[in-house]
Amino acid sequence: MSYLLKRLRYFNSSSVFRTLAIAAAGSALLCSNGDTDFRASVKARILVPLQDPLPFPQHLDFSGVYGTLPLYSYRDIGSQTPSSDTTKDASAAAHHGGSNPCNCFERNTIADAAAKVGPAVVNIAVTHDYLGVTAAKSIGSGTIIDKDGTILTCAHVVVYFQGTSSLSKGKIEVTLQDGRSFEGKVINADLHSDIAIVKINSETPLPEVKLGSSSKLRPGDWVISLGCPLALQNTVTAGIVSCVDRKSSDLGFTGVNREYLQTDCATNVGNSGGPLVNIDGELVGVNHMKMFAADGLSFSVPIDSVSKIIEQFKKRGRVIRPWLGLKMLDLNDTLIAELKLRSATFPDVDKGILVPMVTPGSPGQRAGFRPGDVVIEFDGKPVQSMKEVIEVMEDRVGVPMKVVVKREGNKLVKLTVIPEESNPNI
């Protein structure tokens, strides 16, 4: 017999505010909307506090006493006997050694994926010294992606940036799940993507995580987050993918063009740089930030983007980003209809990329782009989003590219643009 509970929801409209916070010690981007959401369940449950909340530090520095956010648990009333189907699924999983031969979600699916990835998840502690005295210690997470000790993490966990140069925050101590500790060295770091590579030296091969594909994820897919939140090593949380292409502009970031995986996995300070994996135990994202004081809003850098950055690290030790000097806007049916209402001469298109602004003196201006142009073809390939243009350009700087645009009055114009390397300080 099941019990149907009404969904309880408390909302304080006066407490809506927006702040954004990077989920790593010492850095913050915070965002909250003041909602508290109690999920409905098929069991009758009583909400009881686990402990009284302690004051949470204002500065997110966890070198001393850690503050604790208010936590609650659900206590079940009574118990239910597992169905025969559940028992059969568990028996089948045990028979196959914990594998999932039917490719379905079972009781051990998350635990098996976490066990597969866990040994390669590391705690990264950075000691901040001043005149030889330890002033503070920041905590983050990372993932071993090669048996030689190559670790993937977030740049803000291990370095400071001054212009184009990155400076180590201090001595880096990397602790594995089995308790072994190594001194880490920053090999590469990229400011715009906030991705870094740390290296440790081990006499024996280390456990590694297989890189998956973030492009295969769909909203609703199960994912697992691992790391060291609040320095609590070997922490595992699970949730679903909420959005596969959350744009940085949606989060209030201006001047940058990034996309994140949005999930409802529980992440906290110290999770930054840790892995987001699928139920097959494959790395699909790097945990990056969360909406503080808003449950179920966490963001990760997609592994497909990270893989390209790693390739550039291997190729030239840094990331090169072509620059055109064009502001671009992806067109959709609604936007096209609105623009047609405002101007009858707006070109007849059903897709494409609008160029509302051209930077003076930029490669785009020299190529002949004009405000109002609609890009429909780039380097010989039909395009309908900025993401596709970026993928076509890759890291090609100084290479002429043919572009087809449609202008007012449906005039087709062919242009040739030569991308320049973007200024890392912008």
Which CATH number covers residue 162? 2.40.10.10
Whether 94 is in a domain gets the answer: no
Pair 327, 413 in one domain: yes
**What is the predicted pLDDT for the residue at 48?**
32
Pair 279, 359 in one domain: no
**What is the predicted pLDDT for the residue at 341?**
92
Candidates 138, 225, 272, 300; catalytic one: 272
Pair 332, 308 in one domain: no
Is 192 noted as a catalytic residue in this protein? Answer: no
Candidates 194, 225, 288, 300; catalytic one: 194
Whether 249 is in a domain gets the answer: yes
Pair 257, 344 in one domain: no
**What is the predicted pLDDT for the residue at 37?**
43
Pair 340, 376 in one domain: yes
Whether 270 is in a domain gets the answer: yes
Cα–Cα distance between 89 and 253 in angstroms, integer? 46
**What is the predicted pLDDT for the residue at 39?**
41
**What is the predicted pLDDT for the residue at 159?**
87
Give the residue from 316, 348, 371 where a domain finishes.
316
Pair 298, 327 in one domain: no
Pair 268, 303 in one domain: yes
pLDDT digits (tens, 9 = 90+) for 36-83: 443 443 343 333 332 333 333 333 333 333 332 322 222 232 333 334
Is 156 noted as a catalytic residue in this protein? Answer: yes
Whether 408 is in a domain gets the answer: yes
**What is the predicted pLDDT for the residue at 294?**
74
**What is the predicted pLDDT for the residue at 254?**
66
Is the distance from CB of 218 to CB of 208 less than 8 angstroms?
A: no
Pair 298, 233 in one domain: yes
Query: Total structural domains in the chain?
Result: 3
Whether 307 is in a domain gets the answer: yes
Whether 330 is in a domain gets the answer: yes
Candidates 156, 242, 288, 298; catalytic one: 156
Pair 228, 297 in one domain: yes
**What is the predicted pLDDT for the residue at 103?**
62
**What is the predicted pLDDT for the residue at 416?**
96
Give the residue from 271, 300, 316 where a domain finishes.
316
Is 348 noted as a catalytic residue in this protein? Answer: no
Give the residue from 135, 170, 200 where a domain finishes.
200
Whether 59 is in a domain gets the answer: no
Pair 375, 311 in one domain: no
Whether 18 is in a domain gets the answer: no
Phi, psi of 8 (to 5 degrees): -95, 135
Pair 280, 328 in one domain: no
Pair 348, 289 in one domain: no
Measure CA 228 to chain center: 16
Burial class (CB in 10 A: 0-12, 13-18, 19+), 303: buried
Instruction: Look up the pTM and report it.
Output: 0.69
Spell out the residues 6+ positions from residue 360 whose beta carbon is closer than 8 angstroms to its own. none
**What is the predicted pLDDT for the residue at 162?**
64
Residues of the chain with pLDDT under 50: 1-99
CATH code, domain carrying 409: 2.30.42.10
Q: Which residue type occupies 315? A: K
Containing structural domain, residue 243: 221-316
**What is the predicted pLDDT for the residue at 255?**
63
